[in-house]
Structure 1
């Protein structure tokens, strides 16, 4: 009888310990500049969920029941404040895009982000940003472009803000701006749409910005930072990072060359997975 009681007590102890462990699984709230942009993080209408490199990154931690990633729609203007105020935990960004980076903590680099100017006309062999004075440049409203900031401030370039990358591409196509600023992977995804099959899109010979992409986190989750950095190392060294980037990227190269299959396709309806970084 004593042995049975001891066994029951041990069983109850084990169940209690397991319940306690499960209760300690952390849920991280990750803000997204909705609807995001491939390959990093974008909303997929077919699956009705966020997809991309960031989702793949957290999937292994979720499988191991270490944490759960919860993605919340936001925008560039609010995301930073949400994290500082403790309403969210982290976001994928670059420190150079933030207003008050000193109020946040950062992970190690996960990827490199390169932005270029895109045009309907070829670039001269001796192209520099100084040679395109007074040209109209479509940019994303609220976004910071460190490499071109001084040109906009000095009115050497005319900045025309737009609500999304898709709208910027359409404005370029319609001649409302001379150039559009996009990161290379997002541009490849957007201009691969059939709406641009009659256009040849040219990429500037050099990027206007090259920055490190990393996770910006609120101060209160410093222990999580160590876990995130460990996962970045595993994700990168295992080859999963490169595989994920390829999976969520377009294979379009520049100058673009598309075959028109379906005329008069509406960009916005066809590009529902494309986005805003």
Structure 2
């Protein structure tokens, strides 16, 4: 009798655990909202708030909306700076953000999508770069406007050894304004954001891009590990968009859009 009851209890407990396990798995797979970080200050053409419609627009929101609407997952954009948002991502206070793994403090605690897009970083100046000059010629003893909290590994040797001075700004727009005001000799900005700024903020200003770029950055969507069940589908979606050249076309649309 005792043995029978123990077997019955074991069977019931097993059934309950199986149901609980199924329920947890189902909840993990059936998230209904993705809390995605909208950087502040904002970064056109990647993601920003349209001043006329007050809607979040840009390359990244469009791609996310297109994919996750098919997954029946709604998007919620959370405004935060990059450093603060990264810590919130580790804790699960937000679900995802646009990042490069090498920028993060604890990449092993996140899961990353395949490459969404790549960009190259350049120096921008108010006068042409001398023909035949080198990176050392440009930077030695000069001042460079950079983004606050960002790590620039390729520039670090110049900061340490060649009397190059770093002046931090809160945004790429602020970097450009500081360049125009004479607070720095160069602004160090990625090619896509620089093109957007030239099109929309500084159309009447002659800006010169360095002949050489400073490395290439592969931007990905960094997810909290709880979103692992969605990663494969999102990567497949990105692959299809790259094959059709849609990401490049969408990026160009947002750079040119007025």
TM-score, normalised by the number of residues in structure 2: 0.82
Residue in structure 1 matching 2:175, options 145, 168, 171 = 168
Greater share of helix:
2
Q: Which residue of 2 aligns with 1:73?
A: 79
Q: Which residue of 2 aligns with 1:96?
A: 102
Distance 1:76 1:31 in 2: 8
Say if 1:35 and 1:43, in contact at 8 Å, map to a contact too: no
Q: Which residue of 1 aligns with 2:240?
A: 234
Q: Which residue of 1 aligns with 2:149?
A: 142
Query: How far apart are 1:230 and its partner, in Å?
Result: 1.4
Distance 2:98 2:36 in 1: 8
TM-score, normalised by the number of residues in structure 1: 0.77
Distance 1:243 1:193 in 2: 18
Query: How far apart are 1:126 and its partner, in Å?
Result: 2.4
Q: Which residue of 1 aligns with 2:185?
A: 178
Query: Which 4+ stretches in 1 moved above 6 angstroms?
Result: none
CA shift digits 1:136-189 (9 cap, x unpaired): 000111112222123224453100011121111111111110000111111112
Instruction: Name structure 2 gaps, 5 residues minimum.
Output: 1-25
Say if 1:146 and 1:209, in contact at 8 Å, map to a contact too: no
Q: Which residue of 1 aligns with 2:61?
A: 55
CA shift digits 1:27-65 (9 cap, x unpaired): 111112224212211221112121111111122234424
Going from structure 1 to structure 2, the CA distance change for 1:174 and 1:45 (only over 3 Å counts) comes to same
Confirm or deny that 1:85 pairs with 2:83.
no
Q: Secondary structure at the match of 1:30?
A: strand
Q: Secondary structure at the match of 2:232?
A: helix
Within a 5 Å distance, the mapping from 1:119-158 to structure 2 comes to: 119-131=125-137, 132-154=139-161, 156-158=163-165
RMSD: 2.3
Q: Which residue of 1 aligns with 2:11?
A: none
Distance 1:91 1:153 in 2: 31
Pairs aligned (count): 231
Residue in structure 2 matching 1:111, options 86, 110, 117 = 117
Instruction: Name structure 1 gaps, 5 residues minimum.
Output: 1-19, 252-272
